[in-house]
């Protein structure tokens, strides 16, 4: 879905996003794939600063 929206130049916004420490560690193992996926998202509005920091750390 993310790729399809990106291809059509449709913005993707994720509101109230949460990313636990455990999930962040798992997603970090996906490296380049996660960075590419996240780069296609227009805006991620995290629930708090901790979650925002985890998204930023992923790429």
Tens digit of each residue's pLDDT (9 = 90 or more) over 24-37: 999 999 999 999 99
pLDDT at 48: 98
CA distance 4 to 18: 23
DSSP β-bridge partners for residue 43: 13
Domain span at 47: 2-58
| φ, ψ for residue 6, nearest 5 deg | -60, -45
The model carries a pTM of: 0.87
Report how many domains make up the chain. 1
- Written as tens digits, the pLDDT of the chain (59 aa) is 999 999 999 999 999 999 999 999 999 999 999 999 999 999 999 999 999 999 999 98
């Amino acid at each position: 879905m993310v790729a399809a929206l990106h291809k059509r130049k449709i913005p993707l916004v994720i509101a109230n996003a949460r990313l636990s420490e455990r999930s962040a560690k798992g997603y970090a193992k996906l490296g380049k794939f996660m960075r590419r996926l996240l780069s296609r998202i227009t805006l991620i509005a995290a629930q708090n600063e901790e979650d925002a920091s985890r998204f930023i750390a992923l790429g």
